[in-house]
Structure formats: structure tokens, C-alpha cells
Structure 1
Amino acid sequence: MSATSPGGRLTVIQGAALYVGAVLGTGVIALPALAAEAAGPASLLAWLALVMLSVPLAATFAALGARYPDAGGVSTYVRNAFGPRAAAVVGWCFYFAVPAGSPAAAMFGGAYVASALGGGQSTVLVTAAALIGVVTAANLFGVTVSGRLQLVLAALLVALLLAAVAASAPHARLANLHPFAPHGWLAIVPAAALLVWSFAGWEAITHLAGEFRRPARDLPIAAGIAVVVVGMLYMAIAASSVMVLGPAAGTSSAPLAELLALGLGGKVQILAAAAALLLTLGTMNAYFAGAAKLGAALGRDGALPAWLAAGSRAGDVPRRSLGVVAGLSVLALGCVALTGVGPRPLVLLTTGSFVTVYALGTAAALRLLPRGSWAQRCARVALVAVVGLCVATGWYLLWPLVMTACALAYLRVRTTVMVDSGA
């Protein structure tokens, strides 16, 4: 396998920006409040645990991506380890999690815009639809344009988050850490289940591994940079939310806006909305890019209709697959608008799919990575932690089970059709 990828154009910095955008996403603008509501100040332990889990998880997927730079990402690794059926299952879980999670992500950003401009739920939904349109358009021009956009977005959002932490720091109070576990120590478990949304993304960029100039070298470096940046920023924002906002941290719908308001004074809803839009665009851009490539690879491998296979090669643009992701995202947003379902169940449904992808991906790593290597040791640690997250996710694992049934049913029907046609 070559260390370079024909047609690959992503640089290390662009790759790190895609990683940061995929992981440091909409969770930072809403989930500090949801986690604090679930566990109080003890939610900081859930944040810390998931930051620590990110190290072996990111290392595992970066090692796999460097070794097998293919658009199928985790689906390819699972195929090599366990065969085509397992690969189809993990591919479906990831591919259809993106349009399921996109409305929740876009609505997180839209809520900040509505807070700044007014208009209530209508503004939230219009903003969400516009975000889906922007990231679709960016990815239509290929991963190079998408990577450049991501680099700008990542730089701006990191600057805004650091400004929020620095500006609100004088208002931090140690007294706000007491009582530390008002809902009991076991409340950390459901808080961690919610926060998986914030740390999903270490697998997303593996679908773009073939787009790097030198995947074997560049992908691990990009992942390492992202782990440091994401871990520091998440802990800083979470700690600031608890120590600055105190008990109000669990009831705030826009904690980032409140931190900025306390630190800078006056009405800063416009600045907070800008930060929220940057975070949302960064997340959606990275996931749309990864999912579009994955859909093309699944079409190439027979796990989805062959019509989607166009664009699976490095350097090609998977426009058909991208169109499916965008269309399903709009459809899901319409369903959310009609039913009035809030973002919390959508977050947990999506993270149920992601922990399933992580479980199968880390299990595949144990088979594929060299025995006794540091990467395989990371995979072993990651697998144990992910199994724990699966338990914490609870009933929301029903969604990936539904995807599993659909993937296996599609393969059965496809095989029957091929046999009947004599193919």
C-alpha cells in the first residue's frame, strides 16, 4: 500500500480542521447545560472521562485510516476483519445517522439565531434548512474546497470559544462546585451518554483518508492535533459553564451566550449566534463530506444501490451520495417540524448509532492492527470503554438495531435478485 494517495489533496492542517469541526461541534453550545442538568458539577467527570477516551479512540481510527485509506472508512475496516455483512451494518449505521443527526445539530445553531433575531421556532427551522443548503453546496465542489472552508471555520470558532472562556473567567466561583453530585454519583452515567454526541467524529474523517496527500503520515498527525485542541476547549467550556453560571448552568438553553454576556457585558446574542453557526457549519460540513464518501463506497461494495458508487475514488466528488444525504436531512427536518420533537431524543438516537460504529470499528482494529503495537493497545482500551458507553446508551440502541435489520434485509434481497437474474 502506498504512503501517498493518488488524487489526494488534503493537507495536515486541513485534516486537523476537519477533525476539529467533526468533534468540536454543536455539543459545545448546548450539551454543557444538558449534562449539568443531569449530573450537576459532577458532569465535569463525564467530560473528563470522554476526553480521556478520545485519545485511544482517535489513535485507533487514525491508525486504521493510515493503513487502509479507503472511502469506506470504518465499513472497510469491518469488511476486512469480519466480512461484508458486518461491513454493511456499520456502513448503514453511520450513513443514516448523519441525516438523522443533522436536524438536531442545525437546530442547536438555529436556536442561537432565534435568540439573537427573534422569530421563535420559525427562525430555528429556516436557519437549519439554510445550514443544510450551505454544507451541501460546499461539498458539491469537492473535498479541497470543503477542507479550505473547514480551516477558516475552525480558526474562527476556536478564537470565539477562547474569548468566551477568557472573558468569563473573572466570574468563576469555586462555591459553584458544591454540592458536587446533587443527583448522586450514578447520574454521571446518563450525562456521559448525552456527551457521546460531543465526542462523535473521530471515525468520520477516516472516510476521507484517501483524500490526504500522504495518509500514512498525515492522518495520525492531524488526529493528534485535533485531540489536544478539542480536549482543552471542551474542558475549558464545561468548567466555565459550571463555575461561572452555577446552578443556572443546568437550565440555560444558550450557555455560550451567557458566558459571553457575563464576560463582555451588554447583549452579545449576535456574537453568540455567530459562534453557534460556525460550530454547526463545521460539524455538518465534516459529516456531510464523510457520509457522502461512505455512501459512494457502500454503493461500490454492494451494500447500497450501485447508482451511488460514482465518486468513491480519491479526488472524485460523490454528488449522488451527497444528494441522498442532503435530501434525507431535509426530510428529517420536515418531520421534526411537524412533530415538534426536541433535539434530546435525536441526539441520543444518533449517538446510539455512533457507539455501535465505534464498537465494531475498535473490534475490527484488534484483528487488523499489528499484534502488540501501540495502536492495538489503544484499540483494546477503546473497545472496553465503548462497550460501557453502549450500556449507558440503553434503549436508544434500538435505532442501530433497526439499521442492522435493514442492512441485512437489503443484502438478502440483492442476493436473491442477482440469483434470479443469473448474475
Structure 2
Amino acid sequence: MTDTATTSLPRSPSAAPGPLSTAGASALYVGALLGPSLLLLPGLAARAAGPASLLAWLALLGLSGLIATVFCALGTRLGSSGGVAGYTAAGLGARAGRAAGWCFLAGVVAGAPVVCLIGGSYAAAAVGADGGTAVRAGLVLLALVLGVRLLGVRTGAGLQLALVSGLVGLVLLAALGSAPAARAAHWTPFLPHGWAGVARAAPPLMFAFVGWEAAASLTTRLRDPRRQLRRVVLIAFAVTSLLCLGLAAATVAVLGPGAGGPVPLADLMRAALGSRGPLLAAGAAVVLTLAATNTYLTGAAALLDALLPPGAATDPTPSPASGPASGATPGPASGRRGSLVVVGATVLTGGPLFALVGTGLLTTAQLVAVPTALFLAVYLTCTAAAVRVLDGMPRLAAAVSCPAVLALLLGTGWPVLLAAAVALTAAALGRTDDRSPSGRSAAAREGSPAGGV
């Protein structure tokens, strides 16, 4: 899930932040791509494919590069344009755009409990507690972040950059500090579960690559989006690729047969720092979980206001002419409505998910497939739309990545039915008048990571 994305409640044009430099935008983009999912996925992939899990990482990094190319082109050509909803609507129509927006929204709501369960697992591991304690810790984290969301607290850009830097430093410390404990024997057999294991490892790993849609909101903050955005995407891709591959390789080389645990980063930190390592990893995981979940729920609230029909209690919805291009945003009442609905939806979703994990019917690793399927559905519609609206190399990248995303979506298993249900329901109930996702308001792009930073 992406993770340490930076979103905010809609603000007035006078409160809009200044333009971003290439370095600052790159840091925010890295934050949109890295986050709590990186605390779980290396172990999950190693359990499914062993050392060959690195092949899955490499393949998905290649796909991630293609998707980055697509969103970079969409960002420079269409600007913010309502984010993923607007991009999809530009190529596939308003109903498809609405479906993409609701899939993104559902992915955030379903992903919040999963991210909190990951943080809870690290907190429990730090004190040597069992899985029941991890579930209770995750529930406390979710309650805290929902309370923060109801209060309207927003994590600032400076804090987000500090968290990103902390995560990068933690990953480097874990990978490099544990290197003396690496063993060549841990790389054999290289394919313990055959190629089928590599195929099983791939779909969940896409949860680590959600965040390229941040191009939508970054275009509103760059001085020269057409020139800067390409550099920002390239820097972000290089940094995240090195970190993901480094952590994945360290997980296999150091942990070996024990790499399939739920807290691989804590295990690596133990190898690097001894008994203090898991405590440091747990502290970072808890802070990162709270910040990432809050920022994504904030973005979901703003996106929800853009998708729902305007109510009597909300400010008048701006016309398309006063949308993202002019920086107009809904008023505070609109943002409050979205927050209440998102918090309620997360409670209704999180309750059953925590109960399923607490009773042992499902694991956190299995639940990762739910938000992954919903975000893959968003990427599927965006890449399909890009084939129609782009040309040249970006169009070729979209044509190659679209069927690959479809294959990964189908590989998530039963959650694909949930994603299809959300998309079809949204498309069937969506309005087709001029209030399309691409022209509703700037709030539509706030649902994208890095929006409004």
C-alpha cells in the first residue's frame, strides 16, 4: 500500500504550498512508493518462492518501470485531471473513471487494517508475544489512526520526509548490518517450489509498487512538470528498486529457511544489532503505520467527496472550469463528510478482518491480496486508458503493462471477484453527466499519494 504517501484535506488556494524542487518531489515520490508493506512482503515472497523470489522482484520492478512511464506520460499530458479516476475517464469514459476511483477508495479502506496488522506484528515481535497480541496491537493502531482522522489531523510534508528518510536508513541498516550473517548455503536450492512458487509470489508483491499514481498530484506542484516529472520518476524508480532488491536479497541470504516469518525486517535488525534490533524495527513500524494509514485515509476522504453527489451540507461543487487547473477545492464541510464516511467504512471493513485473523481463519499475508487486487484493478483501467490517449513509447509501455497487470490481478485469487464487484457496481450506479471524475474538483486528485503536499 503505498504507504508513506502524503495527502491532505482540501485547502484554500491561499494556503497552497509552494512549488517543489526536483529533489523534494523525488523524496515525496519515494515516500509514495515505500511504506509498511515493505515490512512484510520480502518474507512473504521468500516463503512462496525461496531464493527465486528475487526473480519475482526483478520482474515486477520491470513492470513497475513500465507503469511509471505510463503515469509520467499521463501526468505530463493530462496534468492532475482527477487522478486515477480522471486518467481512466479520459480514455475509457466517465463510468470507467468512476469505477477506478471507487476501486482506489476500496483499496485504501481495505488496506488500512492490513497495514495496522503489519505494524501490530512488529510490536508483538519486539516483546516476544504471540499472534493474538499482534492482532490486539493492530486493533489499537487502527483505533488510534481513525481517531486522528476524525480530529482532522494531517501529517505535514516535513514529517513525511523525515519518515521516508528513517525508513530508507532502517532498510540500509538492516541489509548492510546483517551482511556478516549471510550464508551462501541459503541460496540453495534456488527454486525450492519450482516456477509455480515464483508465480505465487508475484501478485502480493505488487502491493509494494502502489504509488505511481502520485504523478497526478505532483504535476500541480512542479515548476516545469514536463521536464521535472521524468527526472523525479527516474530517481524514485532507482531508489525504490535498490531498496527493494537489497532488502529481498538480505532476507534470503541472512534468514535462509526462516525468511518466511511475518517480521523479516525485525529478524534482520536482530542479526545486525542484537536484541535491540527488533525494538528499533517495532518503533519504526508503529510510527510508519500510523503516519501512512492516516495519510491514505485522508486522501480517501477527499477522493470520496469528489465521487459522491454534492450534499446539502457541503459547499457547492466547483464547475469543471474551476477544477484542478485553477486549484479550487471543496470547503471544510465536504472534507468532514468524507472523513466520517471513510472512518465508518474502515470500521465496518476492519472489524471482520481483525476477527478473521484473530480466530486463525486468515492470516495477514493472505489479507494482503485484498487491497492488492483493488489497486491492480485501478492500474488495469489506467493502463488500458493510456493505450487510447497516449502515443509513442508511453503507449507501447501501456500496451505491454496492461496485460501483465491483468495477469497479476487474476493471480490474486478470490479477491479479484471483490475488485470486479466494486468496479461493476460503481460503473452501473455512476452518473454520466458532466460531473465526471476528471472535472469534479481538485479533491479527486487528493486521493493520490503525495497529493496536496
Task: Look up the match of 2:338.
Answer: 321
Aligned length in residues: 399
Bigger Cα displacement from structure 2, 23-32 vs 231-240 = 23-32
Q: What is the CA-CA distance between 1:308 and the residue it aligns to?
A: 9.1
What is the DSSP-based 3-state SS (H/G/I as helix, E as strand, rest coil) of the residue aligned with 2:169? helix
Runs of 4+ more than 6 Å apart: 308-312
Task: Look up the match of 1:421.
Answer: none
TM-score norm. by structure 1 comes to 0.85
| Separation in structure 1 between the aligned mates of residue 381 and residue 114 of structure 2, nearest angstrom | 25
Equivalent of 1:32 in 30, 34, 42: 42
Counterpart residue type for residue 35 of structure 1: A
**1:212 and 2:226 are equivalent in the alignment:** no
Bigger Cα displacement from structure 2, 273-282 vs 223-232 = 273-282
Counterpart residue type for residue 380 of structure 2: A
Deviations 1:186-239 (A, max 9, x none): 211110011111112212x24524541434444433322221111110100110
Counterpart residue type for residue 363 of structure 1: A
Q: What is the CA-CA distance between 1:281 and the residue it aligns to?
A: 4.2
**1:94 and 2:104 are equivalent in the alignment:** yes
Q: Retained in 2: the 8 A contact 1:72–1:298?
A: no
Counterpart residue type for residue 102 of structure 1: A
Give matches, 1:117-128, under 5 Å. 117=127, 118=129, 119-128=133-142
**1:151 and 2:161 are equivalent in the alignment:** yes
| Separation in structure 2 between the aligned mates of residue 219 and residue 385 of structure 1, nearest angstrom | 24
What is the DSSP-based 3-state SS (H/G/I as helix, E as strand, rest coil) of the residue aligned with 2:399? helix
Equivalent of 2:82 in 72, 86, 89: 72
Give matches, 1:38-187, under 5 Å. 38-70=48-80, 72-117=82-127, 118=129, 119-134=133-148, 140-141=153-154, 146-187=156-197
Task: Look up the match of 1:347.
Answer: 368
**1:383 and 2:395 are equivalent in the alignment:** no
Task: Look up the match of 1:262.
Answer: 271
Q: Retained in 1: the 8 A contact 2:120–2:141?
A: yes
Task: Look up the match of 2:239.
Answer: 229
Task: Indicate how the Cα distance of structure 1 residues 336 and 88 shifts in structure 2: closer, same or farther if over 3 A, else same.
Answer: same
| Separation in structure 2 between the aligned mates of residue 9 and residue 293 of structure 1, nearest angstrom | 21
Task: Indicate how the Cα distance of structure 1 residues 200 and 330 shifts in structure 2: closer, same or farther if over 3 A, else same.
Answer: same
**1:365 and 2:386 are equivalent in the alignment:** yes
| Separation in structure 1 between the aligned mates of residue 429 and residue 377 of structure 2, nearest angstrom | 19
Q: Retained in 2: the 8 A contact 1:106–1:131?
A: no
What is the DSSP-based 3-state SS (H/G/I as helix, E as strand, rest coil) of the residue aligned with 1:180? coil
What is the DSSP-based 3-state SS (H/G/I as helix, E as strand, rest coil) of the residue aligned with 1:124? helix
| Separation in structure 1 between the aligned mates of residue 311 and residue 49 of structure 2, nearest angstrom | 44
Q: What is the CA-CA distance between 1:289 and the residue it aligns to?
A: 4.6
Task: Look up the match of 1:419.
Answer: none
Deviations 1:88-135 (A, max 9, x none): 111111111101111001110121112224554322311232244456
Task: Indicate how the Cα distance of structure 1 residues 287 and 225 shifts in structure 2: closer, same or farther if over 3 A, else same.
Answer: farther
Higher helix content, 1 or 2: 1
Task: Indicate how the Cα distance of structure 1 residues 296 and 181 shifts in structure 2: closer, same or farther if over 3 A, else same.
Answer: same
| Separation in structure 2 between the aligned mates of residue 158 and residue 8 of structure 1, nearest angstrom | 25
Deviations 1:60-111 (A, max 9, x none): 1122123223362111011111211111111111111101111001110121
| Separation in structure 1 between the aligned mates of residue 315 and residue 186 of structure 2, nearest angstrom | 53
| Separation in structure 2 between the aligned mates of residue 319 and residue 148 of structure 1, nearest angstrom | 24
Q: Retained in 2: the 8 A contact 1:56–1:382?
A: yes
Q: Retained in 1: the 8 A contact 2:33–2:211?
A: yes
Unaligned runs of at least 5 residues, structure 2: 1-12, 434-453
**1:275 and 2:290 are equivalent in the alignment:** no
Q: Retained in 2: the 8 A contact 1:207–1:293?
A: no
Task: Look up the match of 2:430.
Answer: 411
Q: What is the CA-CA distance between 1:280 and the residue it aligns to?
A: 2.6
Counterpart residue type for residue 265 of structure 1: G
| Separation in structure 1 between the aligned mates of residue 227 and residue 150 of structure 2, nearest angstrom | 29
Indicate the percent of aligned positions where both proteins have the same amino acid.
40
| Separation in structure 1 between the aligned mates of residue 344 and residue 220 of structure 2, nearest angstrom | 25
| Separation in structure 2 between the aligned mates of residue 166 and residue 355 of structure 1, nearest angstrom | 32
| Separation in structure 2 between the aligned mates of residue 223 and residue 325 of structure 1, nearest angstrom | 30
Deviations 1:245-295 (A, max 9, x none): 111102x22111111111112332220112223443454355335433432
Q: Retained in 2: the 8 A contact 1:362–1:382?
A: yes
| Separation in structure 2 between the aligned mates of residue 386 and residue 92 of structure 1, nearest angstrom | 18
Task: Indicate how the Cα distance of structure 1 residues 13 and 106 shifts in structure 2: closer, same or farther if over 3 A, else same.
Answer: farther
Unaligned runs of at least 5 residues, structure 1: 416-423
Q: What is the CA-CA distance between 1:26 and the residue it aligns to?
A: 1.9
Q: Retained in 1: the 8 A contact 2:32–2:211?
A: yes
**1:400 and 2:419 are equivalent in the alignment:** yes
Q: What is the CA-CA distance between 1:150 and the residue it aligns to?
A: 1.5
**1:292 and 2:301 are equivalent in the alignment:** yes
Q: Retained in 2: the 8 A contact 1:23–1:200?
A: yes
